[in-house]
Amino acid sequence: AYWQINRATSERFTYVTDFEKHGVPDYREEGVTGDTRFTGDCEEYARAIQYQLGIQGVQSTVYVVKRKYDYHALTCTSDGWCMDAFTVPMRRESVRDIFITQL
């Protein structure tokens, strides 16, 4: 089910930076569901995945992680799967990023 949710949400998502969309370097858009086509950055995608998982009754948390050169948001389920717009679902212990904080 995680692969289907991730794939369906990815198909509706178009990556756009906060600066391109809102004219500021960082903006956290509220109310993103991923039910229809949507744009945004990794935070909006992570929130949409969290919403879609919630519809299925799956508990999840959005995290900010530190990558080699930047920061990224991803969603992890309570049973240890993590998802983002750019990869297939993976086990949390396979994520090489450093978990910084919850959003």
| pTM (two decimals) | 0.94
pLDDT digits (tens, 9 = 90+) for 6-65: 999 999 999 999 999 999 999 999 999 999 999 999 999 999 999 999 999 999 999 999
Give the pLDDT of residue 86.
87
Quote the radius of gyration of the chain (alpha carbons, Å): 13
Helix (H) or strand (E) holding 21: helix 18-22
Give the pLDDT of residue 58.
97
pLDDT at 73 over 90: yes
CA distances from 98 to 1, 58, 62, 70 (A): 26, 23, 14, 11
Q: Mean pLDDT throughout 70-75?
A: 95
